[in-house]
Structure 1
């Protein structure tokens, strides 16, 4: 079945960029465009770039070019804008730097998902990545799934698994665990594929092996990822075969990680999304209460709160002869009691503080580069949402395909 794609033409209502008729043309740039572009690429925030582009028409044309925008978005990660809880968007709060952009998105986007095939209340959010939202709803024969862009109100209905792929599954009654999630675009992939391209992975933990299907928006089809048997993956460790459901999915630098097994025998299942290959790695000590981040230079980092106390250990995976294979503790951070790990994204650890001198509990970010702690939200809320706000920096993350007008 080909994916059905529908797009609403309503444009986001809030824009951070002034209209072009207010820009003044400069007679001559004092420095070449190539050098101006290099200067603009080094501006620290998207808001700084928007202000610079508003200075004159020449700057606007330079910044608005597709080539420049792709380079800027590759160098600058989209800011954290808020959290999606069900069908409600909770923007980050001041003084967090991206609070103004978050408020613009709150006005422009539709997180009630009213543009999806109704009724909207049937859709359940499964995952959020790169400005896209993956949702599912019960169907007559299978769960329908959709990937949408709430800022531009575009969506793509995913087709069901082909019959031959569905038939390859073991007895469904042996499925111990399954999940569906979006695959982030790595730096190399982002430079070669369309910005509206994405992938979705469906994984099931069955009795004898792991079954994995991957959907590509480029082909509109599901494919099968070769999955070794449990006995091959955990060779020599029979107690780990189907010991526990895989849990605590983490992501860093093109790889997903899951914990498997118990305590001293625990291992990490690794899926390299660039090669679509599975492997086994050693977890950090006491790694069940953990969250992974990107430490820089391609090295995964991990925060561990071993006993639920006030101390958090930060370790990075070291390069051993060209491969990442060993965890090395970098530092121990003391935050006081009441902080709990609730997730992470790229360079930020998310912490929820229950016991606080402030009137209300809240969500905090810990920057892996500066180790600065900042309050971002008043309560623990769903999936983190990062994106560029409605401006020349933002663009649709789902292909337009067939359009349907709005009456």
Structure 2
């Protein structure tokens, strides 16, 4: 049996967690540069605020209904997510962190009569320890666990916990769920399935997997088997290393100065290097892109990208930043108002995939020690260390995102701790 634990309205819930005065009020969270709505409280959903709608289109609703608007506070969300996952690891034999607000649990060896009480215990413990509400779906496969979680969220009468261990109950639920709500089936694929009369999850479950594989894909055929209780997807307690790492950001203000752009792209390269080292990988290629906005009328448009190859596989931040600066020299053009830039690391490999010279080994060991020390300092909250190429304003860069409604970092910054007096 598998369980899927999903935090309810996660970003919005994190914002109201430390603001009890906002509970019961409509709350929305905006994307980078305060662009679009990416999270809504239950009260905001009831007002008809759609996911992805641009912020300027809800100005009237914000004033009319008193909607509270927040900028994205990624430091707060990441820290609360880590706390939830740590709690889950104490409650289940094995945990797969699926996303910032979702996790699969592997429940081998737990008797069936204990599954419902376990789900209730998970809800109670996270609510007590982290102050967040979660829903729990439990079933014989990960796809069915996703469906069970969907039911737990949709129907309050379930109490936030649904256990689908009986085939009759699984089929009853699948008959109520549109095929587009199945894990991995989006609108485009759902439209193709509907053309063949497959409109509900039960319709898909009754299709022969061989036929689905021939007409669509092996992935969808695997989904059909999972809907019929045949587990095809195992728990991934250790996530697979990413084959590409991208760090990009739209600027809060247009960038016209090359030095400012250098600070931006080297900061992206630094962050990409942290992710690369975090999964214990090395890179052989780095790409850089810069672009103006395609939506601003009357402005000259320009976009370009370049790719560089490292002589040897590396995860050294100094190599990554130096390459980013060289590539920028190749594609930079004066006279444009740049809106976005990004770094892409690809051709990623594990250590030991390249034959090294005996003379390189001591240097590589010193580099690994230096990078590990820098990463440890930054991750442990001792302080923030960066390379001079990122600019002296690396903490609060002038090219940074617009976050005019940013809440405090309640759990990760000493000066933002709540004081009660």
Q: What TM bracket, shorter-length normalisation?
A: under 0.3
Tell me: higher relative CO, structure 1 or 2? Use CA pairs within 8 A at least 6 residues apart.
Answer: 1
TM-score (norm 2): 0.27
Q: Greater strand percent: which structure?
A: 1
TM-score, scaled to structure 1: 0.28
Instruction: Looking at secondary structure, tell me which structure has more helix per residue.
Output: 2
Larger radius of gyration: 2
